[in-house]
Structure 1
Amino acid sequence: MNDAPGTVDVTVVTVTYDAAGLVRACLDGLRAQELGDVTMSVVVVDNGSRDGTADLVAAEYPEVRLVAHPVNAGFTGGNNVALAGVRSRYAVLLNNDAVPDPTFVATLVRAMDGAAPDVAAMAATVLLAARFRPAGPEDGLDGTHVVHGPDGSWVEDPDGPVRLVNSTGNEVRTDGFGVDRGWLADASRHRPARDVFGFSGAAAILRTSALRTVGLFDERLFMYYEDTDLSWRLRLAGYRVEHCAGAVVSHVHAASSSEGSDFFRFHDMRNRLAVVTKNASAALALRCVLRFGLTTASVGLRRRQPWPLVRTRLRAARSYLGLLPHLLAERRRTGRAAVVDRRTVDALLVPPTTATGPYRA
């Protein structure tokens, strides 16, 4: 499964699970890449799909190296299966529900070629696949079909003129929450800084030499916050992450797992605690964990949330405690190798801002 050293400039890795209806568009987009002198290989890791995804990839995309993993190892394990064998200078991560623009790969590779050596990763511009128009009085601004972003309120419309941002990289707030930078911003007006705390695993390029320094994804996270965890470890090791504005993908948001599901809430809450425990300063980590515990106790005793939500919080807390020995061991290992103080990285975190509305694809 290994790339032969020096054979290609970049290896694109896509992990898929029961997504035959999505992966074809993604792979068609990769097949249509305008590479110029950039050389590319594509690896698809099928995470034990039961819907024929592996057969579809093997039959319709013979140029793709298919890794048929026997079980669902999540985003973390699936990517690690491929990344462990990558020998190209760069690896591109691309969600199976994201369709790249024709110049996506070449733009990322050339940007990394021109970047400083301490730039370990670049986040692409991830746009929502849907199109939108401005919401009007007739739409009822309190309606669930209206999307509220930092630049206005929008209604999904297949003929709409507006593209909204899904992510231009990941940020971490001072309360420990990870957020997509630019979420629901008007893409035509979003002009973010080049430097960003971390990359989004939906679409990014990684310098493989940096991965050999800090390691791959933490497989115990399974999915969610794994990109923030790896970005944080890169920061502690003295690397930086930048945004490559010209590398664009269209993303069917939450196509793989719904943000309202118990699965999402459990992994989102547990992994947020896990990542700050592993990487943040002791003061910040303790503050975040204590706040979660107090909030969970409060909503449980006062019944301020429906019981299923309280139950999920309790499950997340129990699972976090079960992971704690691993997290503390990883914290010690990362700390011994760190070249940047944890409090210095904490200073890159952003304050919480007024939340924008949700969006359901």
Structure 2
Amino acid sequence: MLDRPLLRRALVAATSLMLAPLALLPVMETAHAGGSRLGNISAATYQTNGRVSAIIVVRNTIYIGGDFTAVRPSGAAPGTREVPRAHLAAFRADNGRLRAWNPGANGSVSALATSADRKVIYVGGKFSRLAGARRHNAGAVKAATGAITRFHANTNGEVLALYRTRSRLYLGGSFTSVRHTHRKRIAALTLGGRLIRTWHPGANNSVRTIQVSRDRTKVFLGGEFNIVNGRSEPHLAKLSSTGKLLPWRRHPGFPVWQIVLTKKRVFAGGNGPGGRVAAYTTGGRKAWSIQTDGGVQTIALSDGALLAGGHFRNVCVGNIGGPQIGFDCLQVLAPRAHLLALSPKTGALRPWKPHANSGLGVFSLATSASTVYAGGVFTEINEAPQQAFVGFPRS
């Protein structure tokens, strides 16, 4: 007969084994958890007639870029009350009104950034003219008027990512040259547009996102690449300010579309299989991850929550690895139609759940003190007509 102390130890061990898998599963937080000020109800914002791929909020102005050629007021049907805006537009943040700012580009805009003094908007994408001037895939315009500045970058491929520090503008994309100088999908320029020739790392495939640490000593890259500086660095890499590759412990098993950086965490969102959001330490140790049944194309921090947008419809229970074509959750934790909110600390799912339609969903997120903005390819929000751009005020 088993003695009582041994029986107690056996029961504790068995219980621990049964409960251990549960700790690895994503969970849902209550409606009273942090970030609950996010509202599901959308505000009356302008719409566009095509994809919104980039959003930045600068003081009382919301700048957007994408694949559209016109904007129209909330409630207006497609093709009615349209105002021409070629891939770039700006609205007042306080009342949502369209601003006169209208630089225009002759091709798609994928990335936006602002200067430290908020007087210049840097623009990246796939175009050859910006504000009436010749600019190949990257340029800069004045924030107040939209007039072109002297900034030149001129890449031979699309610019997908921009990040501005105190003295540099980092570019990422699919290009292989910048200002007629060889650069493999990542480059650094002065804020006036001069190529920094001493900084020349390279990636073997597209760089979609760039983030820089607060002390400006570390540069984080995400994208479709597998090799950086000749070494295997799948989808996420950390560089020094001199371009040297720095150690990263555990790489994502998915192409990274966006990185969000805090003092102690690196958050990554991306595709495949299905979609993923993962949190890492700044040294690359994985803290948590969640999986969706469609790609995660954008992430952002807002009011103590980590927001994600993409073309998913559900959050899955558990994580399933390995290559596959298409993806469905084996078990659904909760439905989320292209937008969701997570706890940055644990990855637990939060109650925020506005509904966006379309197969492609949400491509961009940005936040102000009072509103979360989302852009993409949707035509409805919460089953009401609203195309490609929307704001969600905090309650």
TM-score bucket of the superposed structures, by smaller chain:
under 0.3
Q: Which has the higher strand share?
A: 2
| TM-score normalised by length of structure 1 | 0.28
Q: Which has the higher helix share?
A: 1
Larger radius of gyration: 2
Greater RCO (Cα-Cα under 8 Å, separation 6 or more)? 1
